[in-house]
Chain A
Amino acid sequence: MTSDDTKELRDTMRSFFTEQAPVRSQLADEPSIWKRVATELGLTGLAVPEAQGGSGATFADLAVVLEEAGRSLLRAPLLSTAVAAVVLADAGADDLLPGLLDGSGSAAFVTAADSPVADAAGSTLLLVATSDVLHAVETAAVSVTPLEAMDPTRPLARVQLGSASGRALGPSAYAIDILHVALAAESVGAARRVLEMTVDYLKVREQFGRPLGSFQALRHRIADLTVELDAATSTAWYAARAAANRAPDLSVVAPLAKAVAQDAFTHIAGEAIQLHGGIGFTWEHDAHLYFKRAWTTALLHGDSRTLRRTAFARAGM
Chain B
Amino acid sequence: MSALDEFRAEVRSWLTERLQGEYAGVVGTGGPGREHEHVEERKAWEQELARGKWIGLGWPRAAGGRGASIDEQVVFYEEYARADGPGRINHLGEQLAGPTIAAFGTQEQKDRFLPGILSGTEIWCQGYSEPGAGSDLAAVRTAATLREDGWHIDGQKVWTSLAQYADWCFVIARTDPGSERHRGLSYLLVPMHQPGIEVRPIVQITGTSEFNEVFFDDALTDADNVVGEPGAGWRVAMGTLAFERGVSTLGQQVGFARDLDEVIAAARANGVADDEAVRDQIIEAWAGLQTLRHTALHTLNNDASSSTGVEANVSKLLWANWHQRLGELAMAVTGADAAVVDGHFSPLQTVFLASRAGTIYGGSNEVQRNIIAERLWGLPKDRA
Tell whether A and B belong to one assembly.
Answer: yes
Give me the interface of A with B, judged by CB distance under 8 Å.
3, 7, 199, 202-203, 210-211, 213-216, 219-220, 222-224, 226-227, 230-235, 237-238, 252-253, 256, 259-260, 305, 308-309, 311-312, 315, 317
- B331-375 with Cβ < 8 A to chain A: 366, 368-370, 372-374
Q: Are the CB atoms of B382 and A305 closer together than 8 Å?
A: no
Q: Are the CB atoms of B298 and A237 closer together than 8 Å?
A: yes
Q: Are the CB atoms of A238 and B294 closer together than 8 Å?
A: yes
Known A223-B368, A317-B286; contact A231-B291, beta-carbon cutoff 8 A: yes
Answer yes or no: B240 CB below 8 A from chain A CBs: no
Partner of A305, one of B280, B318, B368, B383: B280
- Given the complex of chains A and B, what is the CA–CA distance between A235 and B381 in angstroms? 31
Answer yes or no: B269 CB below 8 A from chain A CBs: no
- Given the complex of chains A and B, what is the CA–CA distance between A80 and B384 in angstroms? 49
18 A–B contacts from the bound complex (CB under 8 Å): A3-B303, A203-B378, A214-B381, A215-B382, A216-B384, A222-B372, A223-B368, A223-B373, A232-B291, A234-B291, A235-B294, A237-B298, A256-B290, A308-B284, A308-B287, A312-B287, A317-B264, A317-B286
- Given the complex of chains A and B, what is the CA–CA distance between A166 and B287 in angstroms? 36
- Given the complex of chains A and B, what is the CA–CA distance between A211 and B378 in angstroms? 12
Q: Are the CB atoms of A219 and B369 closer together than 8 Å?
A: yes
Chain A residue nearest to B383 in the complex (CB): A214
- Given the complex of chains A and B, what is the CA–CA distance between A289 and B311 in angstroms? 29
Known A214-B381, A222-B379, A234-B297; contact A260-B287, beta-carbon cutoff 8 A: yes
Task: List the B side residues contacting A3 at CB < 8 Å.
Answer: 303, 305-306
Q: Are the CB atoms of B314 and A214 closer together than 8 Å?
A: no
- Given the complex of chains A and B, what is the CA–CA distance between A215 and B381 in angstroms? 8
Q: Are the CB atoms of A214 and B297 closer together than 8 Å?
A: no
Task: List the B side residues contacting A220 at CB < 8 Å.
Answer: 366, 369-370, 373
Q: Are the CB atoms of B283 and A312 closer together than 8 Å?
A: yes
Task: List the A side residues contacting B377 at CB < 8 Å.
Answer: 199, 213, 222, 226
Task: List the A side residues contacting B203 at CB < 8 Å.
Answer: none
Q: What does DSSP make chain A's interface, helix, strand, loop or mixed?
A: helix
Q: Are the CB atoms of B379 and A199 closer together than 8 Å?
A: yes
Task: List the B side residues contacting A216 at CB < 8 Å.
Answer: 370, 382, 384
Partner of B379, one of A214, A233, A234: A214
Q: Are the CB atoms of A210 and B287 closer together than 8 Å?
A: no
Partner of A202, one of B297, B369, B379: B379
Partner of B314, one of A227, A309, A312: A227
Answer yes or no: B317 CB below 8 A from chain A CBs: yes
Task: List the B side residues contacting A256 at CB < 8 Å.
Answer: 287, 290-291
Q: Are the CB atoms of B372 and A227 closer together than 8 Å?
A: yes
- Given the complex of chains A and B, what is the CA–CA distance between A233 and B308 in angstroms? 13
Answer yes or no: B206 CB below 8 A from chain A CBs: no
Answer yes or no: B376 CB below 8 A from chain A CBs: yes
Chain A residue nearest to B299 in the complex (CB): A234
Task: List the B side residues contacting A312 at CB < 8 Å.
Answer: 283, 286-287
- B177-201 with Cβ < 8 A to chain A: none
> Shortest CB–CB separation between residue A220 and chain B, in angstroms?
4
Chain A residue nearest to B374 in the complex (CB): A219
Task: List the A side residues contacting B366 at CB < 8 Å.
Answer: 220
> Shortest CB–CB separation between residue A76 and chain B, in angstroms?
28
- Given the complex of chains A and B, what is the CA–CA distance between A199 and B378 in angstroms? 9
Partner of A230, one of B314, B368, B369: B314
- Given the complex of chains A and B, what is the CA–CA distance between A160 and B295 in angstroms? 42
User: Contacts A213-B377, A223-B368, A234-B297 given; 12 further ones with Cβ under 8 A?
Assistant: A202-B379, A210-B383, A219-B369, A222-B379, A226-B372, A226-B376, A231-B292, A233-B298, A234-B294, A235-B290, A256-B287, A312-B286
Answer yes or no: B380 CB below 8 A from chain A CBs: yes
Chain B residue nearest to A255 in the complex (CB): B287
> Shortest CB–CB separation between residue B377 and chain A, in angstroms?
5
Task: List the B side residues contacting A233 at CB < 8 Å.
Answer: 298
Partner of B295, one of A226, A234, A252: A234
